Amino acid sequence: MHIRVINPNTTQAMTDTIGTAAKAVAASGTRISATQPDSGPVSIESHFDEAVSVLGVLDEIRAGERENVDAYIIACFGDPGLNAARELTRAPVIGIAEAAFHAATLISTRFSVVTTLPRTTIIAEHLLDSYGMASRCRRVRAADIPVLELEANPDLALERIIEECLKAKQEDGIGAIVLGCGGMADLTPQISAAVGLPIVEGVTAAVKLAEALVGLGLQTSKHGDLDFPLPKPFTGRFAEYSNLTPD
């Protein structure tokens, strides 16, 4: 099977990190391709960044449909454009936050999230509410590092993430920790060894969930709100989206 892992930002180094982590856990018969949009934010750290990134994600889905991709992963912890992406394909589309939350509930009764900047904790809390997971999460914490510091200053970033994870272990009464950024995809072994708790990382969790869904023959339902978008005219710079039909 072919799984397309989409980094919604435009930083190639982060796309490479995400792709490497995905390939490390993929089954021997799974092909992983990691892509990013041509245009958009270099990192996603706000509602505005997420909104701007969505069209790039959707363009990557449309490109994948021409390549008969079997499943897609949106590798940003805000899951930007998740349901819009699901409208464009019958293939499963998995957001890394949703995947990580579900995986954490299968191995612990309570978990905490450790993410990057304090403002993104609120975005994660919104997602927990919308996914019905808020009662399972004790706290969303921030290591107070910009996303791109994960690439530019990895040693300091890792130190701060571990520090916050240890605080979560000591203070939150939890059984597992969810890492709240796709850029943390390669840090799981180091953090797990330092913290001594199960560490759930969304990119790798999403790969295994995607493999399971494809293996079960389960596709995105086209009955109801996730049906293909109604073909209609779009104007101005969005004219290319006029009268879309399934590829």
151-180 pLDDT, tens digit per residue, is 889 999 999 999 999 999 999 999 999 999
Domains, the chain, ordered by start = 2-95+205-241 (3.40.50.12500), 97-202 (3.40.50.12500)
89-126 pLDDT, tens digit per residue, is 999 999 999 999 999 999 999 999 999 999 999 999 99
Which residues 6+ apart lie within 8 Å of 189 measured at CB?
none
183-194 pLDDT, tens digit per residue, is 999 999 999 999
Nearest to 183 by CA among 12, 4, 59, 64: 12
Query: What pLDDT shows up at residue 204?
Result: 98
58-83 pLDDT, tens digit per residue, is 999 999 999 999 999 999 999 999 99
Q: What is the pTM (predicted TM-score) of this model?
A: 0.96
Query: What pLDDT shows up at residue 245?
Result: 87
The span from the CA of 161 to the CA of 84, in Å, is 32
